[in-house]
Copies of this chain bind each other. A is one copy, B any other.
């Protein structure tokens, strides 16, 4: 992508979103099925899961609102949609399937909201947008998978909704490293800041002290 970065700079893309006043942590689709290369996993997804563990701990320590997002379909397939026409495998993610359970190292606690979705975006046809608005959140710290699928869609919808999205580089993963990099580039130019968590936290704490 480096070949075109001068065009993006010259046309004014990729400016910084600054530091949010009130961030929330949103973790998307870190379910067993996406941890397993035999189902929908692969690439760097398992590293991203491991690297999200300390981020979740820090978010809890900071008292940020926390949302855990799963993809879940009805047992009888009645809520299949255009997304599952493209990717029918996903219809196996039913409520009680082990595939749709959150990975053991990232389990929700009471008071953290669990969001069920049937599309890539964590904010589409789910209660997440109003839940965040009710809490006066203005920035979404985003972890999860896949970078080119549900992360891209959730980040886009977060921007659409008026939140500033911060994609934590080491906490998002994809079965394809090429798709991962291409989507980080697109998001950083047009709809999010792509940043390491340490760097995000350092800036947030500096601004809070400010």
Of the candidates B78, B111, B133, B159, the one whose C-beta lies within 8 Å of that of A162 is B133
CB contacts under 8 Å to B, within A126-170, are: 126-134, 136, 138, 148-149, 152-153, 156, 159-165
- CB pair A125–B129 under 8 Å, yes or no, is yes
How many Å lie between the Cα of A124 and that of B14 in the bound state?
A: 21
CB contacts under 8 Å to B, within A1-40, are: 1, 3-4, 7-8, 11-15, 17-18, 21-22, 39-40
- CB pair B161–A130 under 8 Å, yes or no, is yes
List B contacts of A111 (CB < 8 A). 76, 78
For residue A37, give the distance in angstroms from its CB to the closest CB of chain B. 8
**Chain A interfacial residues counted at CB < 8 A:** 77
Tell whether A85 is near chain B: CB-to-CB under 8 Å.
yes
Tell whether A103 is near chain B: CB-to-CB under 8 Å.
no
Tell whether A82 is near chain B: CB-to-CB under 8 Å.
yes
List B contacts of A119 (CB < 8 A). 127, 130, 159-160
- CB pair B79–A178 under 8 Å, yes or no, is no
- CB pair A42–B182 under 8 Å, yes or no, is no
For residue A142, give the distance in angstroms from its CB to the closest CB of chain B. 14
List B contacts of A7 (CB < 8 A). 42, 175-176
List B contacts of A22 (CB < 8 A). 136
In the complex, the 6 A-B pairs of residues with the closest C-beta atoms, listed nearest first: A133-B162, A130-B162, A12-B89, A182-B182, A4-B176, A134-B162
